[in-house]
Each structure stands twice: as structure tokens, then as C-alpha cells.
Copies of this chain bind each other. A is one copy, B any other.
Amino acid sequence: MAKGITSREQDFSQWYNDLIIKGGLADYSAVRGCMVIKPYGYALWENMRDVLDKMFKDTGHVNAYFPLFVPKSLFEAEEKNAEGFAKECAVVTHYRLKTDPNNKSKLIVDPEAKLEEELVVRPTSEAIIWNTYKGWIQSYRDLPILINQWANVVRWEMRTRLFLRTAEFLWQEGHTAHATKQEALEETTKMLNVYAEFAEKYMALPVVKGVKSENERFAGAEDTYCIEALMQDGKALQAGTSHFLGQNFAKAFDVKFSDKNNQLDYVWATSWGVSTRLIGALAMAHSDDEGLVLPPAIAPIQVVIVPIFKGEEQLTAISAKVSEIVLQLKAYGIKVKYDDTDNARPGWKFAEYELKGVPVRLAIGARDLENNVVEVARRDTKTKESVSLDGIAEYIQNLLVVIQESIFNKAALYRADHTTEANTWEEFKTILDTKGGFVSAHWDGTSETEESIKTETKATIRCIPFDAKEESGTCIFSGKPSNKRVLFARAY
């Protein structure tokens, strides 16, 4: 047990909280269900955001910003969306506080400053955005609109977990408008593929792409596509969603366009989003009992260098050599930190950077200097080796690629080991209660069966995978006929 991290075996949930808190990613706050994202966690988010932002722009999207507040009358316009979010939204009712006449050092809500119409703090922005698009769209020439927004949203969840489920979270939400159904469907798929590529290539997180069942669909969508990842406790986590909204919001907000033949039609829509929840997924998928394990592609610090020295003279000599190494690494675009602080021992530093998941640690002492070598330690495999300083930057660059792949492969292997076919109800329950993970099983396609399975096992349909094969079978629960397997799991 390093740095007071609970082990996974002992208490997975506490292990996760320890990772987040002690790893310096986030902290609890004075506001129920809201967290503080600490600098190290925010640096991780910045790296993720920058990669995603570039991917969005490379696929033709631009950023914009819409109001935080949604007037109640707009919020309720799309009925299903409103119904889905009304139960958990923060509502602004007043615009002023005043001094409490009974206690001058206290403030109270000023009853004279009641809003004529309440404002909902956005839980998602379809309503405010489609109300705006109404003014922007008249003709097919105004389409498509391909806008993304980086923003905070609020969903008043009753049970919260750092990053995974917080009352306020940061996310991006794409909101696109199209002239045809086909184009909107293509956009929905395109952005799901962007998310999948991001998850696998940068977060080293293998994901299953598929479509949600009706029960799990976004409120107001015709279809919700998703990427689903598997955590180390065998539970699934929805890592991103892309919604085909049909003409639902265009109808709710009366957004029509005239096509090339001057015919009026409602506009087709998509929306898609990922959030700071991904940080929770990242931590939970790869880390170990010593702390975080971060993939090099998004790690805030990729390489940390720790000097091993006795006295000022040794440190000076080591630091001179390290300056050269740092320059070489930076020339390769590697994010490197040299920790020459003298208020902690090397062993303490080693544990600290293990806890923080820094992919590579270099340790260098006086003897290494003489031998022109450095000790290279991998965070993911906990292996160490002595490496020549000649060509060290290129060596590290290659190593970072190897580590990135290795973390992905480990997660992919885990997922393969924890994706099991079940053909009977007993098998299904046994798998869930023993190894967990994804259970691939036949389902009769009804919401009632899905609901019953959830009630009995807490497992939900994570998705109907895009690559599911046609296969005749019978629903594990109802025994009714089915023509493809879907993925069940207990989930975050």
C-alpha cells in the first residue's frame, strides 16, 4: 500500500476515491455534489480537450458559446427532453440577495427580486441552442451548422462520485443542423467514431461502439449511439454518446428551412458529448494499487527526472547533465519535469510520481553520471533498466509509444477476458456475480424484459454493438426469439 492508497481488492470504490484525491486530480467542495478539479486533474482535462478540439475542427466543426441559463418556457418545449431533465435541474428564481433585517451580517433572498420566469441552469443545451438556430436558419444555404461548445452543465444527481457523476461537470456538446436525415445520421456516426478513436488512441481505452436500447436513450433523441468501456471491477462505463435527434427539436422550436426546390421542411439534428467523466474512466481503467497509470498521449507529465545525490556538489554535477537531457527530450516534444527539490528523499519522490501515474521516471546518481547511464523506470509495468545517455531522447520517445500500446493492450486483454456469452438465465446471473464484465446475450427487444433484467440483476443493456452478427437465438430472460446478441453489464 503506497502513499495510503487502499488496494483494489480491499475496496475498489475507496481505491478509486484515493486515486482521485491523493493523486491530486480533484477535491471535494463545499457545494453538495460538486468537486474542485485540481491543477493536475485540470492539466489532464486540458490535454484531452485539446486533442478532441483539434479532432472536431479537423472534421469541420467550430466552437461557439450559448447562455448558461434556459428560460423555463424553452426548457419545456421539447417534451421528452424536458421530462428527462426536469427531475434534476438547478433553478434560478431570484436575482438579488439583501441584508437580513434580523442579522446584519447575513444575507437573504430578496423577495422583491423574483424572476418573472424561472431560469434552469443548463443540464444540456439543445433547448437554448435550437431556439437560437431558429433565427439563423432560413434556407438550405444556411446548412449544415456544425457547432461545438465547451461548457459547464448541472444535473442535480442524488448520488455523486468524483468525476463519474457530479452535480456540475465540464463537457463539450456538439449541436449540428442538417438539411437531410441521411446527413444527420452520417454526422452522428462520424462523431461517435471520433470519440472511439480518441478513447482508444489517446486514452488507451478500448471501447465498444453501438446503439442504445430505448430505455437508455437520451431524452429527446431518436437514437443514441455510444462508446462503452470496461473498468477493472468488471463494471461498464458509458464514455461518450452521439445522438440522432431527428426533427424533434426543429419541431419543438419551429425551425424550418426552404430546400433547393423552395419546399419547407424541418431541420434534422444531432448532438454529441463527452465530459470530465472520462477522467474517472481513465483512472479506473488503468491504475493499480500504487496509484494512477496515465497513458503517455495525455499525461500532463510524461517523464520525471529524479536526482540521487549526497550534497550540493553532486547535485550540481547531476543537474548540469540533466539540463542537457531535458533539452534533448523537449526537442522531441516530450513533457518532462526535473524534480530537484531537496525537501524530500528520492524514495518519497518515486512513490509520489507513481501515485500520479507519470509514465516514465528517470533516476540519475553520481555513479550513473560516471557511466553515462540513467535508470529508466516504467510506471505501467514497474520494470527498470539502465540505459545509455547516448540517444536517450529517441529511446524515451520510442518507449512512450510502447507504453501507450502496452496500456491499451492490457485493457483490451482484460476486456476480452471479461466479455462472455451467456445462453441461459442461470449462466447470465452467474457470470454477473462472479467475473462481471460484458455479458453478450440474446434479448427479445422489449423494454419490459430489459427492465425486469435490470430489477433482478442490476445489469442494463450497455449497447447493441454495431458489429453484432445476425444469429438466431432466444432471449435469456423471456425465451422469446432474438436475432442478435446485445451487451449487458452492470454499469457506472
Contacts and interface: CB of A to CB of B under 8 A. Distances in A.
A75 to B, nearest CB: 7
Nearest to A83: B99
A36 B66 contact: yes
A351 interface: no
A451 B466 CA distance: 70
A95 B156 contact: yes
B95 A93 contact: no
Contact of A27 (B37, B79, B132): B132
A170 to B, nearest CB: 7
Q: Interface residues of A toward B: which range?
A: 35 or more
B63 A152 contact: no
Interface in A123-138: 128, 131-132, 135-136
Nearest to A45: B65
B31 A119 contact: yes
A63 to B, nearest CB: 5
Nearest to A132: B36
A132 B29 contact: yes
A68 B36 contact: no
A63 B88 contact: no
A107 interface: yes
Contacts of A132: 27, 29-30, 36
Contacts of A98: 86-87
A39 B168 contact: no
A69 interface: yes
A118 interface: yes
A90 B64 CA distance: 23
B93 A109 contact: yes
Interface string A292-306: 000000000000000
Contact of A39 (B64, B92, B105, B154): B64
Interface in A50-81: 62-72, 74-76, 79
A71 B167 CA distance: 14
B31 A168 contact: no
A270 to B, nearest CB: 17
A38 interface: yes
A97 B152 CA distance: 20
A82 interface: yes
Nearest to A300: B62
A30 B93 contact: no
A285 interface: no
A88 B70 CA distance: 18
B86 A63 contact: no
A141 interface: yes
Contacts of A94: 90-91, 93
Chain B CB within 10 A, most for which of A65, A72, A88: A65
A255 interface: no
A171 B72 CA distance: 26
Contacts of A89: 95-97
Chain B CB within 10 A, most for which of A34, A93, A97, A128: A97
A31 B128 contact: yes
Contacts of A79: 105
Contact of A106 (B69, B76, B106): B76
A206 to B, nearest CB: 28
Contacts of A118: 97, 109
A128 B91 contact: no
Contact of A34 (B37, B68, B151, B170): B68
Contacts of A135: 27
A464 to B, nearest CB: 31
A105 B76 CA distance: 8
A96 B31 contact: no
B68 A152 contact: yes
A121 interface: yes
A183 B349 CA distance: 28
A92 B121 CA distance: 9
Given A29-B128, A42-B63, A68-B154, 6 more contacts: A31-B67, A36-B67, A46-B63, A75-B107, A90-B92, A90-B94
9 contacts: A30-B71, A30-B131, A31-B70, A42-B65, A69-B90, A75-B107, A86-B99, A86-B107, A92-B121
Interface of A: 27, 29-31, 34-39, 41-43, 45-46, 62-72, 74-76, 79, 82, 86-99, 105-107, 109, 118-121, 128, 131-132, 135-136, 141, 147, 151-152, 154, 156, 168, 170, 343
The 6 A-B pairs with the shortest beta carbon distances in the complex, nearest first, are A34-B67, A39-B62, A37-B65, A86-B97, A95-B156, A91-B94
